[in-house]
């Protein structure tokens, strides 16, 4: 077990499963190097179905170098409709070739426009718009350019198969991008929010410069920190220093100008100026950081990931998952007692049950025994407890549990080195890629 990259350790990922170096190399030299295809769950009605009960056109789009939000905006402009009439199941990487579904309310197949670097096919009609998570998972085909140690692929694969009990498997960590690829601070903001340290949360996001940022941005964040440290903060001066492209930071500072920025309520109001999904992301990132820490500690202690020990909490397979895709039902939980370890182990071996760890929230169930000790030790170290997530507005979270292992069937092509695999929704391709490449997570 090898120590992880320093930037990964910042987000709670402490180790690689395998010993020795990775293959190295580079990703995304060209969009064609990174292909992602959604594993679909929808079975639409025919295109000529009555649009009254089926008002949404379902389209499959293959996009090259398109941000999902940007594509939706361009599509709505070309159709002359509101952006709110377009929905999708999951966001995708921009520097890639992606195939994904979109639903469009109130249009026909003949209305679809031609857009650059986009192949758009109407495949049917559905009765509701797509919602986030309306997919079973994603299939990846990823080329590794100029690997330094390509022969390490087999050794790493063997290690991951041993770790997964026969299948290639990795810890189901949240990837670096969950926390901010260039400036990973969202979890730090979320931890402050969970402690109701509203002032510290704002300054962690708005001040707190990172070396990876442009010099002007670093100077602006340093200016905010200096203003905040004064006895009579001049928030207008901080706002004036903040570049225009940092819209969320400017929104927070503008609210501090309005309110005076002196009380905890002023700083909470500043946080609430950003979109609701970013407010939730702050808290989710804090939960994800604690989850990564728990998995790292489980690795350090040598506890298995593919089977339970006494005290674990397992979830069961989702019986409604599409054929050939394994999904979990985290509403179906069971605590593993000493006399049930062997029975639950057999369920895990057959893909019917999965060991979990908490994404801590107000209704989180913590484990017992050694797993429970790990969970409580991490929370104690972070000065957190489940009740801390009883928070106002969009910051509130009941929590859940998440499987700690993600397994896949992985194939390797040698010339050029290409990794092909599928993952269930909610799992990160970087969780697999980091084990093989072992490079700076910003390059994954």
Predicted confidence (pLDDT) per residue in 267-284, tens digit: 999 999 999 989 999 999
Tell me, what's the pLDDT at 177?
Answer: 83
Asked about 93 being catalytic, the answer comes back as yes
Q: Please give the mean pLDDT across all residues of the chain.
A: 95
Buried b (16+ CB within 10 A) or exposed e, 254-272: bbbbeeebeeeebbbbbbb
Bridge-based pairing state of the strands 97-105 and 405-408: unpaired
Residue 46 placed within a domain: yes
Tell me, what's the pLDDT at 41?
Answer: 87
Is the pTM higher than 0.85? The answer reads yes
Q: Which residues pair with 62 in a beta bridge?
A: 99, 119
Same-domain status, 198 and 301 = no
Q: Is the pLDDT of residue 101 over 80?
A: yes
Q: Is the pLDDT of residue 324 over 80?
A: no
Tell me, what's the pLDDT at 182?
Answer: 82
Looking up residue 77, the CATH number of its domain turns out to be 3.30.70.3160
Q: Which domain holds residue 190?
A: 186-274
Q: How is 211-245 classified by DSSP, letter by letter?
A: TTS-HHHHHHHHHHHHHHHSSS--HHHHHHHS-TT
Domain boundary among 274, 304, 332: 274
**Choosing from 93, 329, 373, 443, which is the catalytic residue?**
93
Residue 128 placed within a domain: yes
Same-domain status, 345 and 375 = yes
Give Rg (Cα) of the chain.
23
Number of structural domains (the chain) is 4
* CB-CB contact of 53 with 127 (8 Å): yes
Same-domain status, 254 and 347 = no
Percent of the chain having pLDDT more than 90?
91
pLDDT band (50, 70, 90) for residue 128: very high
The C-alpha angle 391, 395, 397, rounded to 5 degrees, equals 75
Q: How many other C-beta atoms lie within 10 A of the C-beta of residue 188?
A: 22
Same-domain status, 168 and 300 = no
Tell me how far apart the alpha carbons of residues 200 and 187 are, in angstroms, rounded to a whole number.
13
Same-domain status, 94 and 243 = no
pLDDT in tens, 19-36: 989 999 999 999 999 999
**Runs of H (alpha helix) within 61-116:** 68-79
Q: Is the pLDDT of residue 316 over 90?
A: yes
Same-domain status, 46 and 113 = yes
């Amino acid at each position: 077990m090898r120590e992880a990259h320093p930037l990964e350790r910042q987000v709670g990922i402490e180790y690689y499963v395998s010993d020795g170096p990775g293959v190295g190399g580079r990703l995304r030299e060209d969009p064609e190097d990174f292909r992602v295809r959604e594993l679909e769950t929808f079975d639409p009605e025919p295109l000529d179905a009555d649009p009254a009960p089926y008002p949404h056109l379902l389209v499959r789009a293959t996009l090259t170098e398109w941000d999902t939000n940007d594509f939706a905006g361009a599509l709505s402009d070309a159709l002359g409709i509101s952006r709110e009439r377009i929905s999708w199941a999951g966001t995708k990487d921009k520097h890639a070739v992606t195939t994904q579904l979109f639903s469009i309310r109130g249009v026909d197949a003949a209305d679809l426009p031609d857009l650059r670097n986009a192949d758009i096919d109407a495949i049917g009609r559905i009765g509701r718009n797509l919602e986030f998570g309306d997919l079973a998972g994603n299939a990846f085909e990823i080329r590794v350019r100029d690997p330094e140690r390509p022969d390490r692929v087999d050794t790493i694969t063997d290690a991951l198969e041993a770790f997964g009990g026969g299948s290639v498997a990795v810890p189901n960590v949240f990837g670096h991008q969950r926390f901010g690829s260039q400036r990973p601070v969202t979890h730090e903001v979320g931890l402050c929010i969970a402690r109701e340290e509203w002032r510290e949360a704002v300054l962690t996001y708005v001040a707190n410069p990172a070396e990876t940022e442009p010099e002007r941005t670093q100077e602006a964040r340093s200016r905010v920190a200096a203003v905040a440290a004064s006895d009579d903060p001049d928030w207008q001066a901080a706002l004036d220093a903040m570049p225009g492209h940092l819209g969320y930071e400017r929104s927070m500072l503008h609210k501090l100008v309005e309110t005076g920025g002196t009380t905890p309520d002023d700083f909470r109001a500043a946080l609430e100026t950003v979109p609701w999904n970013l407010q939730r992301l702050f808290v989710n990132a804090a939960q994800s950081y604690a989850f990564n820490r728990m998995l790292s500690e489980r690795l350090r202690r040598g506890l298995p990931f593919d089977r339970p020990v006494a005290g674990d909490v397992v979830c069961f397979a989702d019986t409604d998952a599409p054929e050939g895709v394994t999904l979990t039902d985290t509403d179906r939980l069971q605590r593993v007692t000493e006399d049930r370890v062997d029975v639950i182990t057999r369920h895990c071996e057959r893909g019917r049950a999965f060991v979990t760890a908490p994404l801590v929230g107000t209704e989180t169930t913590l484990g017992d025994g050694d797993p429970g000790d790990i969970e409580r030790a991490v929370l104690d170290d972070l000065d957190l407890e489940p009740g801390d997530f009883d928070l106002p507005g969009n910051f509130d979270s009941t929590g859940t549990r998440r499987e700690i292992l993600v397994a896949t069937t992985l194939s390797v092509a040698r010339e050029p080195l290409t990794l092909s695999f599928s993952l269930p929704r909610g799992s990160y391709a970087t969780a697999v890629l980091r084990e093989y490449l072992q490079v700076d997570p910003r390059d994954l």
